Amino acid sequence: MAKATRKQALGRGLSALLKDPENDINSVADKNADKVVGNIVELELDAIDVNPFQPRSNFNDEALQELASSIRELGVIQPITVRKLDFNKYQLVSGERRYRASRLIGLETIPAYIRIANDQESLEMALVENIQRQDLDPIEIALSYQRLIEEIELTQEKLSDRVGKKRSTITNYLRLLRLDPIIQTGIRDGFISMGHGRTLVNVERREDQLEIYEQIIGDSLSVRQTEELVRKYHDSGSITKKSGSKSIPKSRYIVQSEIDLSQFLETPVILNTSDNEKGKMTISFKSKEELHRIKKLITGE
């Protein structure tokens, strides 16, 4: 306990140093930079901006509440990492869940490691650290890999070394981005697994991807069953339906409507039609809370 108290006191002392205009630190060569960079500093939450390069876009409310309760009881055990922007102004590099949870319970300060980096270095640090430490969904990981390749100009070989993953693993994640947006949403929301997604990538036509996706959801197909369905699709050139059912290709309008509705409701929406005019709409949800959210979006109440 004495050690923790000493660290907190040190953090407060460094925080005061950072608020002194005569000691403004903008590079590792500046006076007192060695006392700040790499050390834990208590920073005001209001002095920290969210990182625009943050790959995580979904924050589970229940998990955030649990983290907030833990922080209320135990404090922030693992400091966040920030990048210095200006005098008493910082930007998150990693630790947005801890930052959000601390704000949720009304904390005014948070322990932080301070780094001095340019935008490109900040982007790389944010993406790599989040891939390694955060519970990102497969699509968020794929998008992070894609950004590292495109914006940092890393080859897949260099990316493999940087994140400590096999090149084949990175390739499998990147291939998920070839899936229809509705299916990507289904993976992100946990309606199907990455294994389902890896199998569906082998279906080139997105309309066919969606038909198989609907069968996976409707019949609760396992990954192995999905692999068999895709194999039969390639063998026959068409999608295998249950006996007695007719396969009517969906019009572009129906497919686009599924995409628009899924994006608006933030959950998979499937439109089943008999003639591309009359039909049935299926809206997926995983909990009573999510159903309540969807109901509010639809009714406006």
Of the listed ranges 43-47, 66-70, 192-196, 248-252, the one predicted with least confidence: 248-252
CATH number assigned to the domain covering 179-299 = 1.10.10
Per-residue model confidence (pLDDT) at position 5: 40
Residue 202 has a pLDDT of 94
Reported as a pLDDT band with limits 50, 70 and 90, residue 194 is very high
Residue closest to 173 by CA, chosen among 206, 136, 226, 225: 136
pTM: 0.53
Note the pLDDT tens digit of each residue in 208-230: 998 899 889 878 899 999 999 99
User: What CATH number labels 2-118?
Assistant: 3.90.1530.10
Catalytic residue among 44, 62, 66, 96: 96
pLDDT tens-place string over residues 126-135: 777 777 765 7
The ranges assigned to domains in the chain are 2-118, 137-176, 179-299
Please indicate whether residue 73 is annotated as part of the active site: no
Q: What is the pLDDT of residue 2?
A: 39
Q: What is the pLDDT of residues 84-93, one digit of tens each?
A: 888 888 888 8
Question: What distance lies between CA 172 and its chain's CA centroid?
Answer: 17
* Helix, coil or strand: residue 272: strand
- Residue 37: DSSP 8-state: B
pLDDT tens per residue across span 127-178: 777 777 657 889 989 988 888 887 677 888 888 888 888 999 999 999 999 9
Q: Which of 152, 160, 153 is nearest to 125 (CA)?
A: 152
